[in-house]
């Protein structure tokens, strides 16, 4: 279980915005667990707060990612958001005096260096990831994004293909870790083509840009500048994408393949990811498990489950085990069907799964966890006590229960575990269960 992180102490940034050219002061402060990334615009005594989520985005902006509410906005947040995402920072408060986040040298390098110098600290609460379970597509002709399942981390692959004499095709692909982000992505600077430069400034973009903080390409080389990477333009696109993706509000676990996408397409993908996640029907394409799967874990099908616990239909209430570390934790799945016999008489006009059966399903996952240890094979796990039971949400036909059990204490004749049941990301039930472990036939 990976903990959430925040800054050890606050960090101050002062500089000029790339697009507005205005001076800005930014203070990034530590924040408590589960706070997320919060931006606060300060104008004298006035304070306007924007959570760094899709709901706060100014969708009409181009060539930058901005937060706003119609009258107040904070521009060009993508490099700072990429820093939070890339370094694994879950919680921070960003106080901004001015209209735009400073651009510095056109990259995320300054943000990374100062934040790492201040240090990061782990927090008690675990990280919650956004997992993709089926492919998700966004196709807009020359611009496209595809998101594929990839539970090992976040992998970004980007094809930059303008088919233009001033900037040849480039490709970059890597799993993004804090080390990779700091070394391979953060130093990559923003860019444009020579023929775009004057046009963009006439449209109000790049008022703070110069030859040093913006790579202006002509004949596949930057004017009055030197490349940090042969594919620096492509790497900067990956940095922007990493920052935009963090507007889902959670770190993403997937393989994302992008071609020529910019902030506009990135925002559409973020909206599509969240819309898919919020879809209430069974089989949604993204999910938020509470824990990452363990590399040393096992999966069990129904036949293997029946070799460990004695329950059979209709009282076998788990369909499979998707993550088992014997003696440590287990995660089970129960698909709740309208054909379950209890729905005929349990609130038939408004069918809900009986709470005692949710507890029983949790206990069966706990039983698999206890009895999966070699020394306990062949034993039975009987209830001794159930404590701290809380029912938080009803479970309906069509829901999929994710049942998580974690060992608190285990001995030769007793075992105790903590169980939680979820439907998608919503906690529906939790309890602590103590078992007596006895020999079969005793």
CA trace torsion 92, 93, 97, 100 (10° rounding): 50
Q: What is the DSSP letter of 75?
A: B
Nearest to 85 by CA among 189, 239, 229: 239
Q: Strands 130-132 and 252-259, how do they pair? A: parallel
Instruction: Transcribe 355-410 into DSSP letters.
Output: HHHHHHHHHHHHHHHHHTSGGGTTEEEEEEEEEEEEE-S---TT-EEEEEEEEEEE
Phi, psi of 280 (to 5 degrees): -85, -10
CA distance from start to end of the chain: 38
Do residues 266 and 244 make contact, with C-beta atoms less than 8 angstroms apart? yes
Q: Strands 3-7 and 67-68, how do they pair? A: unpaired
Active-site residue, selected from the candidate residues 41, 79, 85, 263 = 263
From CA 54, how far away is CA 244, in angstroms rounded?
Answer: 9
**Residue 239: its H or E element:** helix 232-245
Do residues 366 and 419 make contact, with C-beta atoms less than 8 angstroms apart? yes
263 assigned to active site: yes
Q: What angle do CA 171, 90, 182 make, to 5 degrees?
A: 40
255 assigned to active site: no
Tokens 């209209």: give the residue. Answer: 99
Strand, helix or coil at 130?
strand
Is the sign of the CA dihedral 60, 148, 232, 109 positive or negative?
positive
Active-site residue, selected from the candidate residues 168, 311, 346, 396 = 346
Looking at the annotation, which residues are catalytic? Answer: 263, 346
């Amino acid at each position: 279980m990976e903990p959430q992180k925040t800054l050890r102490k606050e960090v101050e940034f002062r500089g000029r915005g790339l697009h507005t050219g205005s001076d800005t002061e930014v203070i990034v402060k530590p924040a408590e667990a589960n706070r997320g990334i919060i931006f606060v615009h300060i104008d004298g005594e006035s304070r306007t707060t924007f959570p760094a989520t899709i709901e706060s985005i100014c969708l009409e902006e181009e060539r930058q990612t901005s937060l706003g509410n119609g009258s107040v906005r904070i521009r060009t947040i993508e490099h700072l958001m990429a820093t939070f995402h890339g370094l694994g920072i879950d919680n921070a408060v960003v106080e901004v005096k001015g209209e735009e986040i400073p651009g510095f040298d056109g990259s995320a390098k300054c943000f990374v260096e100062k934040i790492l110098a201040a240090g990061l600290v782990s927090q008690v609460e675990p990280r919650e990831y956004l997992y993709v379970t089926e492919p998700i597509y966004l196709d807009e002709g020359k611009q496209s994004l595809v998101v594929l399942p990839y539970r090992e981390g976040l992998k970004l692959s980007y094809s930059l293909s303008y088919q233009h004499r001033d900037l040849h095709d480039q490709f970059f692909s890597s799993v993004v870790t804090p080390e990779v982000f700091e070394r391979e992505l953060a130093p990559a600077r923003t860019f444009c083509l020579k023929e775009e430069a004057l046009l963009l400034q006439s449209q109000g973009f790049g008022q703070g840009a110069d030859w040093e903080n913006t790579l202006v390409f002509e004949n596949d080389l930057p004017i009055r500048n030197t490349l940090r990477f042969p594919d620096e333009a492509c790497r900067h696109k990956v940095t922007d994408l990493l920052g935009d993706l963090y507007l889902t509000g959670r770190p993403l676990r997937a393989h994302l393949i992008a071609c020529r996408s910019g902030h506009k397409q990135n925002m559409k993908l973020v909206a599509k990811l969240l819309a898919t996640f919020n879809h209430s029907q069974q089989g949604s394409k993204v999910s938020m498990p509470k824990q990452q799967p363990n590399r040393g874990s096992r999966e069990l099908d129904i036949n293997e489950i029946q070799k460990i616990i004695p329950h059979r239909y209709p009282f076998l209430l788990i369909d499979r085990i998707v993550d088992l570390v014997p003696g440590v934790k287990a995660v089970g799945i129960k698909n709740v069907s309208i054909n379950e016999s209890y729905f005929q008489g349990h609130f038939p006009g408004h069918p809900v799964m009986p709470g005692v059966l949710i507890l029983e399903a949790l206990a069966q996952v706990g039983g698999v966890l206890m009895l999966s240890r070699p020394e306990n094979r062949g034993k039975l796990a009987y209830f001794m006590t159930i404590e701290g039971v809380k029912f938080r949400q009803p479970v309906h036909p069509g829901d999929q229960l994710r049942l998580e059990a974690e060992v608190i204490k285990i001995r030769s004749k007793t075992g105790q575990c903590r169980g939680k049941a979820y439907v998608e990301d919503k906690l529906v039930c939790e309890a602590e269960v103590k078992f007596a472990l006895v020999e079969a036939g005793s």
